């Protein structure tokens, strides 16, 4: 194999590092396969380029445009995924490991693209929560909003997921409208560089949106400002070094840290041998030890079982581990590949030696390579301690490889306390079929863990497993895990934005956020708004309907027709006895139906379908003899594709005294 000369991508140009380059070896053969380095880069210039070229270009785009861009990037990665798999084998990864990294990475971009188009506006400002009334007359209100940071996201990634690690950070960053500088770990950066190159060659990114550093970051940190974000994934030691950089403290630079974690998995007190939960637990512990050769920040490092079942757990794990086939990940049938490098092998061996001072090895041999040659192979190592309260190392030392320690617990409180002894983790799993056990565990341990998987026989088949961070769920954890948070759908996007509390008149705030807010002007036109396409509708366009009387006959007819004979509509005495009503009242659903009858324009036209109601509240009872009228206002609109889009209407139903009877958002699909 020819040696790859890895390039940096700075100010929209591929640039070789000057000076001595670092040799990178194949995890499988130990042969040199790449040379990498970033010396000579102008880091201040890269930051400037991102801030002055990439940021403004991304911020000119709407959330939806950026979401479409993510989809194009994901498609580009998928179209050339085989090139990436080929390189991925050299990182020691099997095809399944590579799938998590490569297709899981693209899937994360797809997920953010979809979230962006469904949950974010087709605008540039994101509303956070509801409008807050701040004055009696309603002329002065508050609204929280998010706008993109105007700096750069510096992404420093760990070696274990060279593609996913980059893409899970880029998804939310680019969707937020922030340019990024990516710095992969040196040992597997050749795979990151290839995936990065595919995205650049897709030609969908604006200039300055992405840059790549294939080595050290030089003086980059010296030039960070309050508008920048550092998203770091890696060891606690490096995180500490970077987090305490004086510029980070002085400028209050946002620093998201994803560090190591002594994740726990607990066999519930009810999950005795022979139960489905026992088998699921054993399967999951082995899967977490061997997937990616255990080089997952979320892998199960501590497996806990009731003291009476610990021997059975050990035996079942040993049997299952004996079936693991270790070898060159390109070979058919291999279920566990190599560690990412020989340096990593050395470091895992050292960590196992540390663990072995307070726990004994019951399966595997850390010091003998299970595969001949110079590859970074290691057999899965299972350790056991029977006194977890006096074996501090098992709660402290992360062996970032196929290594896990089993330990007994006395009762649920003991299990909770042991799980929390990791002092903050990314993921915890509990195998129980007892809802009370699950509730007690969540209350006792929730504050110490970023994600909790509660697995039983009903969810196992479709479960995504203990170790998989998901784009729609928060990834990160307190304390030792770094205190950071990534992804979690739109939450992850806001990590790259600034929240600002706006105060002012509803009309002003409404035009800023591109959404009609209560108190903003309602504009009545000549044409019924149902006769307008989305492109012709303006925020605030309003229809004010005529009013209609609601009679007792109407209520009785509605009750007979629908079968809703609830006493509040049908029994005067019983309705009166109810503390809310003065007598029989109109059904809420009748009010909604009559409201539609008042505002609908019936002929075929731009409105295609009613897709739902949100935030429905009935505020004032409507009695027989009252009348009702409706005001229907365009609250927001968003084109989904060339065929249709969604209009959100603010609907208010008033009675003859102009009291609000009902309010809700009506959603319709309309022609664009």
Among candidates 459, 349, 360, which has minimal Cα distance to 407?
360
Q: How far apart are CA 94 and CA 79, in angstroms?
A: 20
Burial of 110 (0-12, 13-18, 19+ CB in 10 A): buried
- Looking at the Cβ atoms of 125 and 297, the one nearer to ligand NAP is 297
Are the C-beta atoms of 217 and 155 separated by less than 8 Å? no
> Rounded to the nearest whole angstrom, what is the least distance from the CB of residue 258 to ligand NAP in the complex?
3
Strand 548-549 to 523-524 pairing: unpaired
Contact string 519-548 vs ligand NAP (x = CB under 6 A)? ------------------------------
Residue 75 interacts with ligand NAP (CB under 6 A): yes or no:
no
The crossing angle, in degrees rounded to 10, of helices 435-445 and 412-420 is 40
Give the count of alpha carbons within 13 A of 339, CB side only: 26
> Rounded to the nearest whole angstrom, what is the least distance from the CB of residue 600 to ligand NAP in the complex?
51
Contact string 153-192 vs ligand NAP (x = CB under 6 A)? ---xxxxx----------------------xxxx------
> Rounded to the nearest whole angstrom, what is the least distance from the CB of residue 347 to ligand NAP in the complex?
8
- Looking at the Cβ atoms of 187 and 655, the one nearer to ligand NAP is 187
Q: How far apart are CA 83 and CA 201, in angstroms?
A: 14
Strand 381-384 to 403-409 pairing: parallel
Contact string 274-313 vs ligand NAP (x = CB under 6 A)? -----------------------x----------------
Chain centre distance of CA 29: 36
Residue in 168, 193, 288, 297 annotated catalytic: 297
Residues in binding contact with ligand NAP, number by CB under 6 A: 25
534 Cβ contact list (under 8 Å, min separation 6): 606, 637, 638, 639, 645, 647, 670, 671, 672
- Looking at the Cβ atoms of 359 and 397, the one nearer to ligand NAP is 397
- Looking at the Cβ atoms of 25 and 646, the one nearer to ligand NAP is 25
> Rounded to the nearest whole angstrom, what is the least distance from the CB of residue 400 to ligand NAP in the complex?
5
> Rounded to the nearest whole angstrom, what is the least distance from the CB of residue 136 to ligand NAP in the complex?
49
Q: How far apart are CA 254 and CA 305, in angstroms?
A: 39
- Looking at the Cβ atoms of 263 and 542, the one nearer to ligand NAP is 263
Please give the residues from 219 up to 258 whose contact with ligand NAP meets the rule CB under 6 A: 233-235, 238, 241-242, 258
DSSP state of 275: S
> Rounded to the nearest whole angstrom, what is the least distance from the CB of residue 357 to ligand NAP in the complex?
20
Strand partners, 645: 639, 670
Residue in 25, 103, 193, 258 annotated catalytic: 258
CB atoms within 10 A of CB 323: 8
Q: Is residue 614 annotated as a catalytic residue, yes or no?
A: no
Select the residue whose beta carbon is closest to ligand NAP and give its number: 234
Q: Is residue 297 annotated as a catalytic residue, yes or no?
A: yes
Concatenating the DSSP letter of every residue in 33-90 gives: EEEE--TT--HHHHHHHIIIIIHHHHHHS-HHHHHHHHHHHHHHHHHTHHHHHHHHHH
Exactly one of 90, 398, 485, 541 binds ligand NAP (CB under 6 A); that residue is: 398
Residue 260 interacts with ligand NAP (CB under 6 A): yes or no:
yes
**Interface contacts to ligand NAP, rule CB under 6 A:** 156-160, 183-186, 217, 233-235, 238, 241-242, 258-260, 297, 398, 400, 426, 481-482
Catalytic residues: 258, 297
């Amino acid at each position: 194999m020819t040696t790859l000369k890895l390039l940096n991508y700075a100010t929209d140009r591929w640039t070789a590092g000057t000076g001595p380059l670092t040799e990178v070896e194949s995890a499988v053969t130990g042969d040199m396969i790449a040379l990498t380095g970033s010396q000579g880069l102008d880091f201040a210039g890269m930051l400037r380029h991102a801030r002055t070229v990439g940021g403004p270009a991304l911020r000119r785009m709407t959330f939806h445009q950026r979401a479409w861009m993510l989809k194009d990037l994901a498609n580009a990665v998928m179209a050339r995924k085989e090139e990436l798999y080929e390189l991925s084998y050299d990182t020691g990864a099997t095809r399944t490991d590579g799938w998590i990294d490569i297709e899981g990475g693209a899937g994360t971009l797809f997920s953010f693209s979809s979230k962006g188009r469904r949950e974010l506006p087709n605008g540039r400002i994101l509303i956070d929560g509801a409008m807050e009334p701040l004055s009696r007359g309603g002329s002065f209100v508050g609204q929280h909003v998010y706008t993109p940071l105007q700096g750069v996201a510096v992404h420093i990634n760990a070696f274990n997921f060279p593609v996913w690690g980059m893409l899970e950070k880029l998804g939310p960053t680019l969707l937020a409208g922030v340019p990024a500088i990516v710095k992969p770990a040196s040992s597997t950066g050749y795979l990151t560089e290839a995936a990065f190159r595919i995205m650049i060659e897709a030609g969908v990114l604006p200039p300055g949106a992405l840059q790549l550093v294939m080595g050290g970051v030089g003086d980059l940190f010296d030039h960070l400002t309050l508008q920048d974000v550092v998203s770091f994934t890696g060891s606690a030691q490096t995180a500490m070094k970077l987090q305490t950089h004086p510029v980070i403290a002085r400028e209050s630079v946002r620093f998201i840290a994803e560090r190591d974690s002594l994740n726990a998995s607990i066999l519930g007190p009810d999950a005795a041998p022979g139960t489905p939960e026992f088998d699921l637990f054993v399967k999951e512990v082995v899967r977490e030890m061997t997937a990616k050769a255990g080089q997952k920040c979320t892998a199960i490092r501590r497996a806990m079982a009731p003291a009476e079942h610990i021997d059975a757990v050990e035996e079942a794990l040993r049997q299952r581990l004996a079936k693991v086939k270790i070898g060159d990940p390109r070979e058919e049938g291999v279920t566990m590949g190599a560690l990412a490098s020989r340096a990593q092998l050395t470091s895992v061996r050292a960590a196992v030696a540390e663990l072995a001072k307070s726990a004994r090895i019951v399966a595997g041999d850390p010091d003998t390579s299970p595969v001949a040659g110079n590859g970074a192979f290691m057999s899965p190592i299972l350790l056991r301690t029977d006194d977890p309260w006096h074996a501090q190392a098992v709660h402290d030392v992360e062996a970032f490889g196929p290594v896990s320690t089993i330990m007994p617990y006395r009762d649920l409180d003991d299990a909770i306390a042991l799980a929390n002894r990791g002092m903050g983790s990314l993921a915890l799993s509990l195998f129980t079929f007892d809802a009370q056990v699950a509730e007690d565990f969540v209350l006792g341990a929730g504050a110490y863990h970023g994600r909790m998987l509660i697995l039983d026989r009903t969810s196992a088949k479709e479960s995504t497993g203990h170790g998989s961070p998901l784009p729609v769920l928060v990834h990160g954890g307190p304390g030792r895990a770094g205190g950071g948070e990534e992804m979690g759908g739109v939450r992850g996007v806001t990590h790259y934005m600034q929240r600002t509390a706006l105060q002012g008149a509803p009309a002003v705030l409404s035009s800023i956020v591109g959404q009609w807010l209560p108190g903003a002007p309602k504009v009545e036109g000549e044409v019924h708004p149902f006769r307008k396409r989305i492109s012709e509708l303006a925020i605030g366009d309003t229809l004010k309907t005529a009013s209609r009387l609601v009679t007792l006959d109407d209520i009785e007819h509605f009750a007979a027709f629908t079968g809703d004979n609830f006493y509040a509509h049908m029994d005067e005495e019983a309705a009166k006895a109810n503390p809310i009503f003065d007598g029989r009242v109109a059904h809420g659903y009748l009010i909604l139906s009559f409201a539609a009858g008042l505002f609908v324009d019936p002929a075929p036209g731009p409105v295609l379908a009613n897709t739902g109601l949100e935030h429905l509240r009935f505020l004032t009872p409507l009695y027989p003899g009252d009348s009702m009228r409706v005001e229907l206002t365009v609250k927001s609109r968003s084109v989904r594709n060339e065929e249709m889009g969604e209009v959100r209407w603010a609907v208010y139903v008033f009675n003859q005294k102009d009291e609000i009877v009902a309010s809700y958002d009506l959603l319709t699909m309309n022609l664009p």
